[in-house]
Amino acid sequence: MQIQQLRAFREVAAELSVTRAARNLNYAQSTVTAQIQNLEESLGAALFDRSHRQLALTEAGSRLLPYARIIIDAAEAGRRAVATEPACTAPARRPRARRAGVREPAGSGA
């Protein structure tokens, strides 16, 4: 399950149209369709009833939707929190421990 798949799922569920969801997300319709199909495959459940002219959420889709919203909201909140933090510097690298019997190449610093 990937965040992009959940975003596509949430948008299709809101619009009940892959075409409108794709337009809203600035994706190709085929991309949204593939994301939904991959999500359904990873979950082992159909999320939309495609038997009628208009899409409808299945019971599994209805159960997933609130969790998809929570996950997407949490990911966006995390992104905002990191974006507002001062730039972090990477910790200094520790020298690698030598393994017994292994010679390091000349000039490797070990």
Name the more confident of 105 and 38. Answer: 38
Q: To the nearest whole number, what is the mean pLDDT of the chain?
A: 87
d(C-alpha 48, C-alpha 77), whole Å: 28
**3 state SS for the chain:** CCHHHHHHHHHHHHHCCHHHHHHHHCCCHHHHHHHHHHHHHHHCCCCEECCCCCCEECHHHHHHHHHHHHHHHHHHHHHHHHHHCCCCCCCCCCCCCCCCCCCCCCCCCC
Question: How confident is the model over 20-54, as pLDDT tens digits?
Answer: 999 999 999 999 999 999 999 999 999 999 888 88
